[in-house]
C-alpha cells in the first residue's frame, strides 16, 4: 500500500510542530519553576543551549560578522523552539488546507458531471 505524499508531509509537519512547541513549553516551564524557587528569572540564551550540548562558537575575526553572530546567540533560547514549532504547525495547516481544497474541487467536478 503506497503512502500518500501529501498525508506524509502533513504528518511530518504536524509532529515537527508539536515536538518543538512542547520543547518551548518545557523551557518556559523550567524558567517558571526556577523563578518560583528563587524569585529570579533565569535568562537562557541560545548561546547557553549550544554550550550545554557541547557546541562552541569561535570568533571569525570579522567585527561586523561577529556582532551579528553574537546578537543572534544572545536571543532567548525559548525563541528557537517556539519559531520552529509555529513553522511546523503552519506547514501542517497549509498542507491540510490545500488537500481539503483539492478534495472539495474534485467533489464539485463529480457533482456537475
> By residue range, what is the domain housing residue 101?
5-111
The mean pLDDT of 14-42, rounded to a whole number, is: 95
What integer pLDDT is reported at residue 16 of this predicted model?
92
pTM over 0.95: no
Query: pLDDT tier at 97 (50, 70, 90 boundaries)?
Result: confident
Separation between Cα atoms, residue 72 and residue 57, nearest integer Å = 12
Residue with the bigger pLDDT between 3 and 23: it is 23
Look at residue 3 in the predicted model and tell me its pLDDT.
Answer: 63
pLDDT band (50, 70, 90) for residue 1 = very low
Cα-Cα-Cα-Cα dihedral sign, residues 65, 66, 69, 71 = negative
| Tally of domains within the chain | 1
Q: Calculate mean pLDDT across residues 89-98.
A: 86
Q: Mean pLDDT over all residues of the chain?
A: 88
With contact defined as beta carbons under 8 Å apart, do 77 and 20 qualify? no
Amino acid at each position: 500500500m503506497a503512502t500518500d505524499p501529501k498525508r506524509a508531509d502533513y504528518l511530518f509537519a504536524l509532529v515537527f510542530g508539536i515536538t518543538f512547541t512542547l520543547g518551548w513549553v518545557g523551557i518556559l516551564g523550567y524558567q517558571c519553576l526556577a523563578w518560583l524557587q528563587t524569585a529570579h528569572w533565569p535568562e537562557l540564551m541560545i548561546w547557553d543551549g549550544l554550550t550545554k550540548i557541547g557546541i562552541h562558537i569561535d570568533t571569525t575575526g570579522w567585527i561586523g560578522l561577529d556582532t551579528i553572530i553574537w546578537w543572534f546567540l544572545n536571543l532567548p533560547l525559548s525563541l528557537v523552539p517556539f519559531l520552529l514549532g509555529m513553522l511546523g504547525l503552519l506547514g501542517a495547516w497549509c498542507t491540510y488546507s490545500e488537500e481539503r481544497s483539492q478534495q472539495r474541487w474534485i467533489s464539485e467536478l463529480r457533482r456537475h458531471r
